[in-house]
Structure 1
Amino acid sequence: MSIDVEAVRRQTRGVLSVTHLNNAGSSLVPGSVMDTVVGHLRREEEIGGYEAAEEAAVRLDEVYSSVARLVGAAPDEIALAESGSRAWAAAVYSFPFVPGTRVLIGRTEYAGNVVALRQLALRNGLEIAVLDDDPDGLVDVQHLQRELERGNVAMVALTHVPMANGLVNPAAEVGKRCRAAGVMFVLDACQSVGQMPLDVQSLGCDVLAGTGRKFLRGPRGTAFLYVRASVLERLEPAMLDGHSAVPTGAGGLEVRGDARRFESWETSAAGRLGLGRAVDYALALGLDAVQERVAGLAEEMRAELAEVPGVIVHDRGIIRCGIVTFSVQGSDARNIRSRLAEHRVNVSVAPSPFAWAYSIPTGTRQGEDMVVRASVHYYNTHTEVQRLVSFLR
């Protein structure tokens, strides 16, 4: 099944205004997603927030089923959240760490996750061990295996697709080894969900966090969390409210038995409905077709950029995705982003893959080198890729 690019562009109002190559930051939402969000906000305006939510109760509940289909889970293994980082943290902060145990992470782990893990390490007396990259820039599964065999590992935390350098980490192989070792595996899929098929059974992860605003093309302020049913009872949320637990007996407490224990009572019903619509939109297109289109456009961009004098493409990996990172000799990445924006071409900047030191135990960042990050989606076109390349020429 292939994607009807002209049809999805007609359904994407933003393409009339900008060449949007910042999908790894926040995609242009389809018109139907925005209509869903605004439509519910109108109902809140007309009849009240509680009443509008009650009216949409069935549709709100269906969002869990949609997200579950997206990642191959059961609806009661899904929680909805306001950001991918908060979803990830809700699960990780609930883990019953034992002082002296180790957490294994990759060198391209998302910076916010490392901050959280370091706080937990200081609080609980943990050791954070950084796994090597292999020659292709992927997390080294052989090093992972050696560290697992050393023992005393509480958790492995991995970013599936790093924020810059184009690669896709071998999450399924990591999951296989973690399962064999009986170690909790937490996967940050914020940059992979929506641009490639995901199946939590094949990935072998116990926890997966995803966001709505990036390749899933949902509204900002939306995200989800998957927690495998078999580990759910081990994870008591760090914070509870009347939605996630109820008081029992004389001083007792009963925490919800499903993943919604990680949610809070107050949230945006409009955002959740928009997230559900975005998920259904992606499922209707087919994630295999999405991945084929996105990967093809990204490879086209890399090839075109490599032909421009002074442009250096930094992407690594064996399987690569829609994120393309490059620099221009003698030019500052922020300046390039600003000048492109003047021509209504949206890109972003990111720390250079060779300057990342988020995971180095000293906690220092080596330099402030930045690269340009251009991230394509299936609604982008060859003409838009050429617009970027022509500007750089």
Structure 2
Amino acid sequence: MFRDTIDGFVQNHMTPDFEKWEKEGKVDRAFFKAAAEYGFLGLTVGEQHGGMGLDDMYSLVLLEQMARHNMFGPALGICAHSYLAMNYLNHAANEDQKQRYLALSVTAEKIGCLAMTEPGAGSDLAALRTTAIKQGDHYIVNGSKTFITNGVYADYAVVAVKTDPNVGAAGVSLLIIDCNSEGYTTTKLNKLGIRSSDTAEIGLNNVKVPVENLLGEEGKGFYYMMESLQTERLSVAWLCVGSCLGVMDLTLEYIKSREAFGKPIAKIQVLRHKLAELQTEIDCTRALMYLATQRLAKGQNVVKEASMLKLKSAELFKTVTDECLQMFGGYGYMEEYKIARAYRDARVGTILAGSSEIMREIIAKMYIDGIEYNK
């Protein structure tokens, strides 16, 4: 039933405008408003703040099913809003902040983004250079962020800053910054793929942020980030697995209709066996994804599983698009075929939300060195 509702939403509110969004490099704000009317933006937010009060399994189904329609950009926009920016508000914000930002995010009156990555600090979050110096009842913020999804049209950003530059990770804090603040600037980035997802570089030049916009406690930002990265990385897995399923749907339809040597190419053994192999990998990854999300919904630690799924699903999305495009022959290289766009979109999966190399090292530390990450 829920999947049918998502399919109806995609048909009515994504498909008609998707090609326009791909050309413009952003979705319309009306898309977020429509998603809010369906209740999609606050699935895991408490009812007292306008949400549905559901568990993470509903979020999995939402992003997986939405991505299965081979429109990665809009789905990523919702992901960045609901499972990056809003996730921090849901878990770390005080009641005043939840009223001013979280509740309005559920209704799409405000769109959020998460601003962590910097030109010189990606996976090494402790190396952040953006500073927030407290002066009276404000923080003065200086620095820059890059590769920020929803960065151009967001109304607020959850920003990682150094409130004490001298103590490494212990000096990291999180601030909620209004994007219309003086000194806050954005530059739209021109990407290889996922073109309908707005991505920006953010400049912060003496931006004044009220102290009441400190998220949680000062100096606890790194802890909040480590806690929320489980959800962030699982959300990318939800998108990547859904996208794999969507690409397989496209390919199966094509090989059943395309004929060579007097028969559909779906009857050619080498292609049949390749698809069987890919579907097996997808189903195995999907099974772990469902199990890990169930554990997350119960409040269990899934750092290892989230890292494994971020690694495997993103690498698999690349593999599936590459192998399936090959089956389309020359048509797969043409922009009017959805498989060509999927091939471009898949490439960033092994980079965003922690690169594959970082995921392998986290897994290795846990499996080989016996290191435990409590969050």
TM-score of the two chains, using structure 2 as the length reference: 0.25
Higher relative contact order (CA 8 A, sep 6+): 1
TM-score by length of 1: 0.24
